[in-house]
Amino acid sequence: MTATNARDGFAVVRAGGEFRLVAQREFSTGSRLFAVDGHLTETPTRYSVQVGAEIHLDLPGGHAPEEMMDRFFWRFTNHSCAPNAQLRGREFFALRPIEPWQEITFHYDTTEYEMAEPFDCRCGEESCFGRIQGFKFRTAAERELLRPMLADHLLAMVNVVHR
């Protein structure tokens, strides 16, 4: 599986002291944005993304900053409680239209069962969930709100509970 690089529609920018992944062109709702690749591990880290029941995708060590921003640019996809993208399998898709230079975001609680490093959200959205620490800690009502965006491994868990 080859990953899209930053020259193929995405750029990593630094704004307000933080790195962000932004679109360089327009994407329509449902568009495939990019695939994620990296090192598979059972141990979550601050920068990993959960892609299976006990499988996390992380960055292998020893990469130059340029490679991190080109090959592993997905690592700069930040959290939002009102995201414009979702992770399905190992690919990101647009949840709504994305304009050029708009930041690409996803809701971390839709992939992570339990965060390695929980944090207080600062997204500023009216629907902000506050503390982001993983799907495990969401209320039943919050889990239902997240259901349409859930990664397959969390959706399978929710479906087992509802049977």
Any idea where the domains of the chain sit in the sequence? 6-161
**Which residues of the chain, if any, have pLDDT below 70?**
1-7, 160-163
Class of domain 6-161: mainly beta
Distance CA 138, CA 109 (A): 8
Query: Residue 2 has what pLDDT?
Result: 36
List the one residue out of 153, 161, 123, 136 whose CA is nearest residue 20. Answer: 123
Structure tokens given for 34? 């990019």
- What sign for the dihedral angle of Cα 122, 51, 75, 29? negative
**What's the pTM?**
0.89
Query: Residue 1 has what pLDDT?
Result: 30
- Stated as kind and residue range, the H or E segment containing 79 is strand 78-79
Query: Residue 7 has what pLDDT?
Result: 54
Query: Residue 4 has what pLDDT?
Result: 40
